[in-house]
């Protein structure tokens, strides 16, 4: 692991890959709506993390990332309730989102 890359980036990249694999298996009827929205939110969080790393005004980007994580949590719960995502996969996703949320909170407090 490269020490110059924040751990949250590595964790988010791995989670996004996992998430894309799972949303690709959603039923065709919701792939263009729910799956696409989930995927786009994951990319939005990634972009906010990049902005937070390189921008002087980090707080706004970190807040956007945190809001994106919360939105993902709600959409993934909906996907689980609709049985597009297994309970086991949902538990994994929620644990990952909680870990990223803690890291974002720590980063924000360090500012």
List the chain domain ranges: 7-110
* CA dist list (Å): 89 to 24, 82, 84, 100: 14, 13, 10, 17
The pTM assigned to this predicted structure is 0.91
pLDDT, mean of each 10-residue run, the chain (111 residues): 81 97 96 96 97 90 96 98 97 98 92 82
Kindly state the tokens that stand for 94: 């929620």
| CA 66 distance to own-chain centroid | 9
Fold of 7-110: de novo design (two linked rop proteins) (1.20.1440)
């Amino acid at each position: 692991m490269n020490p110059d890359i924040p751990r949250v980036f590595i964790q988010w990249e791995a989670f996004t890959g996992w998430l894309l694999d799972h949303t690709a298996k959603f039923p065709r009827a919701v792939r263009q709506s729910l799956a696409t929205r989930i995927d786009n939110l994951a990319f939005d969080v990634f972009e906010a993390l990049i902005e937070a790393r390189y921008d002087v005004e980090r707080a706004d980007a970190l807040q956007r990332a945190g809001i994106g994580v919360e939105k993902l949590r709600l959409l993934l719960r909906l996907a689980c309730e609709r049985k597009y995502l297994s309970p086991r996969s949902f538990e994994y996703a929620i644990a990952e989102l909680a870990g990223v949320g803690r890291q974002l909170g720590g980063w924000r407090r360090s500012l």
